[in-house]
A = this chain, B = another copy of it.
Amino acid sequence: MIDGPRVGALESGPRNSIADVAGVLVGHITLANGPTQTGVTVIRPHSGDAYRHPVAAAAVVINGFGKTTGLLQLNELGVLESPIALTNTFAVGTIYTAMLKHAVRTNPAIGRTAPTFNPVVAECNDGWLNDLHAFAIDEDHYVRAFEAAGADFDQGAIGAGRGMSCFGLKGGIGSASRLAGHAPHRFVVGALVLANFGRLPHLTLMGVPVGGRIAPADAAHPVRDDGSIIVVTATDAPLDHRQLRRLATRASAGIARTGSNFGHGSGDIVVAFAAGERRRAEAKIGGTASGGLPDAALDPLFDAVAEATEQAIVNALFAAETVAGYAGHVRHAIREHMPDWRAVLNEASPRTR
């Protein structure tokens, strides 16, 4: 249970995480050893083999200063056929290869008689806390994160989030869920973020600009906005590629409400998929998950993805612990800066006269 602000008005699922979309699994491997503070996080769209049972998917690039792989094919075919792996910028190639080898072991026809495999690897730059030049991530780390995947998972300075910074504070992995609509259109929307973006003066919690209230402990360090945020969002609603593209677009509203204006150097990328066991049954290679929800019923899902994304970012901040790493660099947890965050929010709320 993360002790931090709760944003928005919608109800959460029981875990308040992306795993509330039944079947979605998340696993981490964390490397925390002196100057090496990094890791890998794997999101599986369901407990089966995504290559054999792809799910409908879409990706939206809000700002393309990033190195995510796999989005061309994902948007052309409208399906996700791999897990989504998150890691640091320098490990993209290694994890790409690791995912490919893992898929080939399970499906030896890949590269022989079956179509090739499209790994989705997304990244942020954790070079402030992590010695990127050490190239510490190897292929086996992917396998271990994959195998660790479950419906219950930790948040904060863990997995791919280990070395990430957010608003000049400690960032990392956060997740949340929101329930949308009413029966028979009652669905879950979950979000998981790798949060490594933002400048401290912009930090906004529950609409309250609190960034100015935090003394930058690491004032000597330039707070560069060349991070990124990766949003992975899942739903059990029967959306097709086009509708998922529309859903992914709305994650940007949640990012904006935390204080980001999508900085020049920030790779802000959203991947949405219609996942979980509920969708897996209908997925088949070469097909596309069928639509089934009229577009006029999407607004509750749009609200849910914006809230879940904002909450996931807040959760990443409030779940994170302080981390010291490469070259003595430190990123402090927001909890250290505002142990009584309720008081800070009350104090910082608009005083209009």
Contacts and interface: CB of A to CB of B under 8 A. Distances in A.
B115 A127 contact: no
Most central of A116, A125, A209, A351 by chain B CB within 10 Å:
A116
Given A264-B296, A264-B299, A72 B73 contact: no
A290 interface: yes
Interface string A279-303: 0000010111011101111110011
Contact of A68 (B72, B284, B305): B72
Interface string A127-171: 100001101000000000000000000000000000000000000
A24 interface: no
A225 B302 CA distance: 12
A118 interface: yes
Contact of A349 (B94, B119, B208): B208
A67 interface: yes
A288 B208 contact: no
Contacts of A115: 226, 265
Interface stretch (A15-23, A40-48, A249-257, A317-325): A249-257
Given A92-B96, A253-B256, A286-B296, A207 B350 contact: yes
A5 B112 contact: no
A27 to B, nearest CB: 20
Nearest to A94: B97
B92 A111 contact: no
A214 interface: no
A298 B201 CA distance: 17
Interface string A226-263: 10000000000000111100100110111011001111
Interface in A58-79: 61-73, 75-78
Chain A interface helix/strand/loop/mixed: mixed
A90 interface: yes
Number of copies: 4
Contact of A242 (B68, B78, B118, B292): B78
Interface string A328-353: 00000000000001100110011111
Contacts of A243: 288
A283 B287 CA distance: 20
A62 B252 CA distance: 10
A208 B92 CA distance: 40
Contact of A287 (B65, B294, B299): B294
A91 to B, nearest CB: 8
A100 interface: yes
Given A73-B66, A252-B256, A291-B291, A100 B111 contact: no
A118 B90 CA distance: 10
Most central of A65, A93, A241, A284 by chain B CB within 10 Å:
A93
A73 B77 contact: no
Ranked 5 nearest A-B pairs via Cβ? A207-B207, A64-B76, A349-B349, A93-B96, A93-B97
Given A9-B201, A204-B207, 16 more contacts: A64-B72, A64-B73, A64-B77, A67-B69, A67-B72, A72-B269, A90-B116, A111-B125, A116-B125, A116-B127, A207-B208, A241-B241, A242-B288, A250-B261, A261-B299, A288-B295
9 contacts: A206-B207, A206-B350, A252-B256, A256-B257, A261-B305, A261-B306, A263-B299, A284-B294, A286-B296
